[in-house]
């Protein structure tokens, strides 16, 4: 049994609230709007909020946990955050009448572990400073990057499923979800090699870096092959990289929910450390390798924090791309002009607007409206994804008000 009687009552009470919200008809409308945007035929811009500084959000004990059992605490955290976000900063979130839990998939690592030093500024936050120890100094170190050996711990999956079903029986459906893998090899490489070392070696040891990225790419594709062969891929994604993933184009014809294929899924790819490299170098060391990954999937979201407004022509060479990240450091006008009607302009408003000593809602609204105006001039389908919110200076109402402003602004844009 998962937890004691009191903990079970706490979780079932929260689950009932989630189920009541999931039954609201507004979700059908929101899903339809996400689908329209992802089909490049938007009815309006969409708004999503993710990667929240939850340690600063608790108001009126809405996020205070009552459970002690670790499994129950994890579920309680998810449920409370879902209810909190729906109440205070929902944007265009969708709440569905099921709870996805990950299957116990083992052996997906590539051999190396991160060795680092961290710096802490707020002990209640999980946002840290990192200094990575270089483990890829010489040619021989490439052997440390191993091909994964994927396997399914069926016993652990069954135990998790049984515990969750016992807790939520008759309220929320429990789904055991497989892996929805992504291609972010340079995030791995930076953690193994160091940021400065990676950038310097791209310039001064290009052959070595080609061997590094080639080996990580082979390991990634081996992992994907094994996940597909063993029926361990997920399906029916509601989000992809913090954005709505609903689409009438997925899954592909011939879909079998017991054995999903990459072409039934969204993926995303990114190379955040490439913020300072040229389009030519970005293509040579990233896109040329990412192509082997994205061509196997149904749709792809490309980019994260790296500015891509000068690299749209390069991204056009990457198969299956449907959304392109437009980070806080892009020229909105230039990005909109180059994207045009061909992709979703996935705008990441600057979370620093919420982190300063003073809160300026007028600045937030001007920034959103400037983006909408640029996208209107160039016919871009657009969405706003507020993420990487490391602090709101312990003033959660800033985030609530940001959500209100964004919903009002995008609502006016459809008139």
pLDDT digits (tens, 9 = 90+) for 217-259: 999 999 999 999 999 999 999 999 999 999 999 999 999 999 9
Average pLDDT estimate for 403-414: 91
Q: Is pTM, for the whole model, over 0.75? A: yes
54-73 residue pLDDT tens: 999 999 999 999 999 999 99
148-192 residue pLDDT tens: 999 999 999 999 999 999 999 999 999 999 999 999 999 999 999
Residue 28 located in a structural domain = no
Q: How many domains does the chain have?
A: 1
pLDDT at 186: 97
Q: End-to-end CA distance of the chain, in Å?
A: 53
Range of the domain at 386: 44-57+103-413
* pLDDT band with cut points at 50, 70 and 90 for residue 114: confident
Residue 54: partners with Cβ closer than 8 Å, 6 or more residues away: 63, 81
Residue 133 located in a structural domain = yes
Q: Are 318 and 269 in contact (CB under 8 A)?
A: yes
Residue 84 located in a structural domain = no
Closest CA to 386 of 149, 91, 174: 91
Residue 347 located in a structural domain = yes
* pLDDT band with cut points at 50, 70 and 90 for residue 132: confident
Residue 369: which CATH number? 3.20.20
Q: Is 415 a residue whose pLDDT tops 50?
A: no
Q: Are 105 and 232 in contact (CB under 8 A)?
A: yes
Residue 153 located in a structural domain = yes
* pLDDT band with cut points at 50, 70 and 90 for residue 116: confident
Residue 27 located in a structural domain = no
pLDDT above 70 as % of the chain: 98
Average pLDDT, the chain: 95
pLDDT at 290: 98
Residue 165 located in a structural domain = yes
Tell me how far apart the alpha carbons of residues 132 and 117 are, in angstroms, rounded to a whole number.
6
pLDDT above 90 as % of the chain: 93
Residue 20 located in a structural domain = no
């Amino acid at each position: 049994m998962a937890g004691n009687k009191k903990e079970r009552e706490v979780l079932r009470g929260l689950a009932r609230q989630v189920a009541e919200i999931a039954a609201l008809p507004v979700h059908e409308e929101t899903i339809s709007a996400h689908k329209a945007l992802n089909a490049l035929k938007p009815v309006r811009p969409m708004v999503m909020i993710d990667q929240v500084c939850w340690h600063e959000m608790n108001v009126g004990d809405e996020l205070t946990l009552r459970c002690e059992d670790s499994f129950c605490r994890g579920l309680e955290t998810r449920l409370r955050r879902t209810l909190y976000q729906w109440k205070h900063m929902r944007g265009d979130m969708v709440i569905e009448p099921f709870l996805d839990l990950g299957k116990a998939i083992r052996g997906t690592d590539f051999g190396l572990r991160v060795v680092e030093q961290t710096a802490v500024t707020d002990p209640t936050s999980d946002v840290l400073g990192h200094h990575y120890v270089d483990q890829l100094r010489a040619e021989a170190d490439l052997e440390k990057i191993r091909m994964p050996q994927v396997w399914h711990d069926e016993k652990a999956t069954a135990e998790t499923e049984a515990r969750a079903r016992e807790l939520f029986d008759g309220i929320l459906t429990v789904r055991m979800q497989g892996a929805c893998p992504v291609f972010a090899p340079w995030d791995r490489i930076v953690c193994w090699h160091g940021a400065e070392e990676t950038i310097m070696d791209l310039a001064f040891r290009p052959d070595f870096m080609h061997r590094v990225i080639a080996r990580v790419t082979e390991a990634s594709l081996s992992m994907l092959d094994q996940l597909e062969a063993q029926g361990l891929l997920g399906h029916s994604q509601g989000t992809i990289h913090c954005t709505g993933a609903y689409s009438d184009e997925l899954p592909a014809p011939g879909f079998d929910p017991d054995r999903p294929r990459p072409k039934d899924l969204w993926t995303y790819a990114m190379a955040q450390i490439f913020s300072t490299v040229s389009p030519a170098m970005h293509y040579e060391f990233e896109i040329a390798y990412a192509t082997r990954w994205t061509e196997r999937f149904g749709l792809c979201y490309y980019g994260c924090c790296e500015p891509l407004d000068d690299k749209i022509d390069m991204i056009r060479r990457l198969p299956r791309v449907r959304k392109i990240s437009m980070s806080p450091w892009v020229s909105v006008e230039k990005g909109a002009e180059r994207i045009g009607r061909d992709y979703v302009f996935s705008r990441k408003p600057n979370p620093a607007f919420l982190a300063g000593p003073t809160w300026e809602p007028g600045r937030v609204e001007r920034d959103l409206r400037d983006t909408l105006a640029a996208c209107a001039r160039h016919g871009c389908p657009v969405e706003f994804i507020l993420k990487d919110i490391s602090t709101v200076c312990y003033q959660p109402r800033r985030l609530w008000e940001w959500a209100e402003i964004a919903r009002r602004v995008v609502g006016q844009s459809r008139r």
